[in-house]
Structure 1
Amino acid sequence: MSPRVTGPARPLPDSIGIEEFMDRVATDPLPLADRYRLVAAARVLVEELYVHLPLKRARYATDPVQRLRLLERRVPALSELQFHAELAAVFRDLRDLHTVYQLPAPYRGQVAVLGFLVERYQDEDGTPHHLVSRIDDSLRHADFDAGVELELWNGVPVERAVERGTAAQAGCSPDARLARGLESLTLRPLRTAPPPDERWVLLTYRTPEGRTRETRVPWRVRAAERYRGRDQDPVPTFGAHLGIDAGNEATRQAKRALFAPESARRSVARAPRDVLAYSRARARPYGYLRIFSFNVASARRFAEQVAVIAAKAPAEGLVVDVRGNPGGNILAAEAALRVLSAGPVAPVRFSLPTTRAALALVRANPAFRRWTASIRDAVETGEPYSQAFPLTDPDAVAEGLPHYAGPKVLVVDALTYSAADIFAAGFADNRAGVLTDGGAGGGTDDDADGGAGAVLGTAASTGAGGANVWTYDLLSVWLPELLPALPRGAGFRVALRRATRAGASIGVPLEDFGVAADPLHRLTRRDVLGHNEDLLAAAAALLDGRRGRSGG
């Protein structure tokens, strides 16, 4: 006999049903002419300004330019949802979360949510388990609560459902796609993909006591962020130094609103706790710094906040955790790294494509002057990329601030992306976590471990996003004739300048490769349902070993 199907006692707060949302969409369809404008703009971006096009063509055997040509011919035959899905898929198959199509209003600023999170851990024999780790109060009923283990998802074994979700993700490594596939089970930013096909999900789950139950949970739609009563994108439109997965930043803010509402209420003021949190490690003499995001307006102000934390962190060691960090302000990430390093750091360098549009951009924008000569000369040299230059001097941004000289361990995962990738690369390449005779950071090529053991990961590498991303709106300020205005707030984000690493990894691209974790810690049940106790114990053990090697 099948378990009785139950549902939540009340709807998720501050949300509307997906059917009501889709009814709103249907009342005002996008005209055919606007669809053609979007496809034409996408072709210009991909052909002329997308810096990773040669890499993606070689690595994934994809031809987005030809796909856009074909889409242009099929536009009249597609429904509106089919059109949005097809255009989004062209960008998704690049496996680049920087380079995306952004759907117009009313999708803008909205996230489809179920109201709970699913996290995964494996037994020692590799058997996966999928647990509800966080849940909104409105959904708790009939034993459905944090800690239940999912068995079936709409009648499909949950492991297979995760595989299906993973196949639809743009991550460039198996771990990155798996992490995003898990998150997409319950959170989907509508700015970068159409809404879920289903109106609800049917879950079969097992309680901690071993009872099998079923529940039906409806999809709801809510704003990723509200500012003065208006829904808005959670990522700035005109930031020139951004490196961020805008979709993951939207889901991060939705998670904060659902599962940490006190923090979410302070988000309008961009309180430090929105992006930073600090505590002392339990039963060990170490500090613990969590950097949730680098999505901040002022790099200097952010560096000052990190410096305040660094000043009170114990000298014995610091665990710096950037798991789930979708990136943000690249200058803020590199300035924070400088504060957390005993000596100077070599910043990541950036280069542009050597196209006609890129040359027009660097000639129009004085801030790009350094890149002009190498793009101009590419006609003769045949180089696909310009010379590489840093975006900033981290020492200048962090000038006058105290620095943390103690040993450090960095904790990363497959959702560590973009500016957080850059932070992790700088941490590894500048040996910021290495404990030498003179203290942490500023290691030399003679260091025995070369930085090994300083980057602890729950996946084999970070998310592998390596670029400075610009929006279509920002590019159109400098290239108005090439990039005319788009309809209804639709847009694109594109990887404009690719990032290459410094130090011993000088010249190595971050895109698609990321930063390797050493060592690896697979999450446990205690990590998922508790407060990452086993993960933090592994980080502390690394610091214990470093102190032992130095006689501390």
Structure 2
Amino acid sequence: MSRVVAEPARELPDSTGLAEFLERAGADPLPLADRHRLVAAARVLLEELYVHLPLKRAMHATDPVQRLRLLERRLPPLSELQFHAELTDVFRGLRDLHTGYQLPAPYRGHVATLGFLVERYADADGTPHHIVSKIDPALVHAGLDVGAELRSWNGVPIERAVERNAAAQAGSHPDARLARGLESLTLRPLRTAPPPDEHWVLLSYRTRGGRPRETRVPWRVRAAEQYAGRAQDPVPTLATGLGIDVGGEVARHVKRDLFAPSPARRPAARTLRGVVGHRTLRIRGRAYGYLRLFSFNVAGARRFAEHVAGIAARAPEGGLIVDIRGNPGGHVPAAEAALQVLSPAPVVPVSFSLSTSRAALALARAHPGFRVWAASIHAAPETGELYSQAFPLTDPEAVAAGLPRHRGPKVLVTDALSYSAADVFAAGFQDNGLGPVLGTAPRTGAGGANVWTYDLLRVWLPELLGDLPRGAGFRVALRRATRARGNVDVPLEDLGVRADVLHRLTERDVLDRNKDLLAAAAALLAGDHG
């Protein structure tokens, strides 16, 4: 059958062409002195405060501090986009989505998108398929719609294109990189990485009816969030209890805005309606509760725990399916408080520790909430310890005091995009024996830290950290997370939480609301999983 060449895709509403955006961005390049300031600040953060530096040097054979020294010597000939790409790549080599360079204005608050999503499933024999799972209605044309199967991407067979894109991601392990490689095929937050090199993508695909087609889809740029007419990031910069993948949270907001049913689009940032969904499922004649936790990026732990407790209390007796797939994390105390109300008994939380550097000691002495860590950091020159003692971040049992606890059976559903506070939630769920963990990938995203912004660190360490130009920034893993009970002292970073049961996504999962995945979860609750 001869290939049909389709007309180019129509433009995505409420967006700007990538070429036009880059032309505006390049009109006022970042001066060389500002680039030196950014590299110098990155060195201080990594050498003095980054808690995972010894682990990353061992796990990924990387030396980011030396790379920054070399970058500092080679700055003059670099264009602005080359500079942003080089500095981003130093951090990407850490394989740590907590710790990264955040591009300045005009990139901050914006995302590049093709206007559709690609998901992957495999046949029983392992043959992979890459399917358009969601698309903005304005772009539907010539069979490019939900269910179309991609065959090539800019002339590269789709499987190889996904592999190449996955290799460029900062995920902690191959499954996490693959998941992020799929997502970033069509959606790239510009706060955490430079824009795509290509201005459009040439797609070869088969329609749901099996007809071969080609089309060209342009990259478009739109705001991740709008406030008072200005683009902004949906993650707070001065919160002390965060564990979050910022790029993942930005992507979540844009996906909701583009693809969610109209009533669910654009709820105010960090509202409960924007992060929690629930419904009752009937599977094989039994009723089950379904609790979807899209994010833990909320304003307060107590209110979040109250909301989760209320939903869990109304769950049918058959049990509760708790789904954190794609959850990029957020407020760690909120995640841990929610875990408390889902458990019939008090939950032992994960613990956190700092590096034993001079800057970490200065922070522990300056910040009232850090003083519990000061003694062990002070003793490190004599003990030789790389990390301080480990203590819980907060007291989640106290936060959830007086709230009803869910005592029925439950199962947790995870994937390789469940990250940071979602890793913490999954670890607590498994370590405290709340129920089985059903994963669509062998491990969660493996983000194990409390992350602080450069702006927040400047408040407490003003003599060490100076101003940054044009709203540029950094985020850094400041306190590492280690697990509890039978996994005591096991780090979450790079290791994640292993699924007790693995479910590989099917075509019905991708195109028919996760029917096979939810049936597998229900089977675990019913005790008849084969």
Q: Please confirm whether the aligned pair reaches a TM-score higher than 0.5, indicating the same fold.
A: yes
The 5-angstrom pairing of residues 308-347 of structure 1 reads 308-347=310-349
Q: Which moved more, 1:280-289 or 1:171-180?
A: 280-289
Name the counterpart of 2:255.
255
Number of positions where the alignment pairs a residue of Structure 1 with one of Structure 2? 527
Mapped partners of 1:517, 1:23: distance in 2: 46
Name the counterpart of 2:490.
508
Name the counterpart of 2:227.
227
Name the counterpart of 2:366.
364
Q: Which amino acid aligns with 2:401?
A: E
Name the counterpart of 1:208.
208
> Which secondary structure state, in structure 2, belongs to the residue aligned with residue 238 of structure 1?
coil
Name the counterpart of 2:116.
116
Residues 359-410 of structure 1: per-residue CA shift (max 9 Å, x gap): 1111111110100000000011010000000011111000111110000000
Confirm whether residue 477 of structure 1 aligns to residue 459 of structure 2: yes
Name the counterpart of 1:491.
473
Mapped partners of 1:361, 1:315: distance in 2: 48
Q: 1:393 aligns with which of 387, 392, 395?
A: 395
Q: Say if 2:120 and 2:510, in contact at 8 Å, map to a contact too.
A: yes
Confirm whether residue 526 of structure 1 aligns to residue 508 of structure 2: yes
Q: Which moved more, 1:230-239 or 1:66-75?
A: 230-239
Mapped partners of 2:261, 2:29: distance in 1: 35
Q: Which amino acid aligns with 1:102?
A: Q
Q: Say if 2:454 and 2:473, in contact at 8 Å, map to a contact too.
A: yes
Confirm whether residue 4 of structure 1 aligns to residue 1 of structure 2: no
Confirm whether residue 90 of structure 1 aligns to residue 87 of structure 2: no
Mapped partners of 2:53, 2:261: distance in 1: 40
Q: Which amino acid aligns with 2:85?
A: A
Q: CA deviation at 1:2?
A: 4.3
Q: 1:464 aligns with which of 438, 446, 450?
A: 446
Q: Say if 1:153 and 1:161, in contact at 8 Å, map to a contact too.
A: yes
Confirm whether residue 281 of structure 1 aligns to residue 263 of structure 2: no
Name the counterpart of 2:19.
19
Mapped partners of 1:170, 1:155: distance in 2: 25
Q: Which amino acid aligns with 1:494?
A: V
Mapped partners of 1:379, 1:194: distance in 2: 40
Confirm whether residue 537 of structure 1 aligns to residue 519 of structure 2: yes
Q: Which moved more, 1:530-539 or 1:252-261?
A: 252-261
Q: Say if 2:3 and 2:212, in contact at 8 Å, map to a contact too.
A: no
Confirm whether residue 353 of structure 1 aligns to residue 335 of structure 2: no
Q: CA deviation at 1:14?
A: 1.3
- Unaligned stretches of 5+ residues in structure 2: none
Name the counterpart of 1:81.
81
Q: CA deviation at 1:269?
A: 6.1
Q: Which amino acid aligns with 2:177?
A: R
Mapped partners of 2:462, 2:209: distance in 1: 63
Q: Say if 1:227 and 1:268, in contact at 8 Å, map to a contact too.
A: no
Using the size of structure 1 for normalisation, the TM-score is 0.94
Residues 160-183 of structure 1: per-residue CA shift (max 9 Å, x gap): 100110010011111100000000
Q: 2:305 aligns with which of 297, 303, 306?
A: 303
Name the counterpart of 1:414.
416
Mapped partners of 1:516, 1:172: distance in 2: 14
Residues 400-442 of structure 1: per-residue CA shift (max 9 Å, x gap): 1111000000000000000000000000000112xxxxxxxxx
Mapped partners of 1:317, 1:99: distance in 2: 38
Q: Say if 1:315 and 1:406, in contact at 8 Å, map to a contact too.
A: yes
Q: CA deviation at 1:266?
A: 4.6
> Which secondary structure state, in structure 2, belongs to the residue aligned with residue 285 of structure 1?
strand
Q: Which amino acid aligns with 1:455?
A: V
Q: Which amino acid aligns with 1:298?
A: G
Q: 1:426 aligns with which of 425, 428, 433?
A: 428
Q: CA deviation at 1:265?
A: 4.3
Q: 2:384 aligns with which of 377, 382, 402?
A: 382
Q: CA deviation at 1:270?
A: 4.1
Q: Say if 1:165 and 1:181, in contact at 8 Å, map to a contact too.
A: yes
Q: Which moved more, 1:407-416 or 1:261-270?
A: 261-270
Name the counterpart of 1:144.
144
> Which secondary structure state, in structure 2, belongs to the residue aligned with residue 297 of structure 1?
coil
Q: Say if 1:253 and 1:264, in contact at 8 Å, map to a contact too.
A: no
Q: Say if 2:270 and 2:297, in contact at 8 Å, map to a contact too.
A: no
Q: Which amino acid aligns with 2:406?
A: Y
Name the counterpart of 1:437.
none
Residues 52-73 of structure 1: per-residue CA shift (max 9 Å, x gap): 0000001111000000000000
Mapped partners of 2:123, 2:393: distance in 1: 44
Name the counterpart of 2:177.
177
Q: Say if 1:256 and 1:263, in contact at 8 Å, map to a contact too.
A: no
Mapped partners of 1:328, 1:475: distance in 2: 18
Q: Percent identity?
A: 73
Residues 502-522 of structure 1: per-residue CA shift (max 9 Å, x gap): 011011000000000011000
Q: 1:403 aligns with which of 398, 402, 405?
A: 405
Q: CA deviation at 1:273?
A: 2.6
Using the size of structure 2 for normalisation, the TM-score is 0.98
The 5-angstrom pairing of residues 147-166 of structure 1 reads 147-166=147-166
Q: Say if 1:501 and 1:507, in contact at 8 Å, map to a contact too.
A: yes
Q: Which amino acid aligns with 2:220?
A: R
Mapped partners of 2:246, 2:77: distance in 1: 30
Q: Say if 1:112 and 1:190, in contact at 8 Å, map to a contact too.
A: yes
Mapped partners of 1:198, 1:425: distance in 2: 40
Mapped partners of 1:309, 1:269: distance in 2: 21
Q: CA deviation at 1:226?
A: 1.2
Name the counterpart of 2:296.
294
Q: Say if 1:263 and 1:274, in contact at 8 Å, map to a contact too.
A: no
Q: CA deviation at 1:263?
A: 5.0
Name the counterpart of 1:436.
none
> Which secondary structure state, in structure 2, belongs to the residue aligned with residue 147 of structure 1?
coil
Name the counterpart of 1:129.
129
Cα RMSD (Å): 1.3
Q: Say if 2:313 and 2:404, in contact at 8 Å, map to a contact too.
A: yes
Q: Say if 2:344 and 2:405, in contact at 8 Å, map to a contact too.
A: yes
Mapped partners of 1:509, 1:301: distance in 2: 29
Confirm whether residue 101 of structure 1 aligns to residue 101 of structure 2: yes
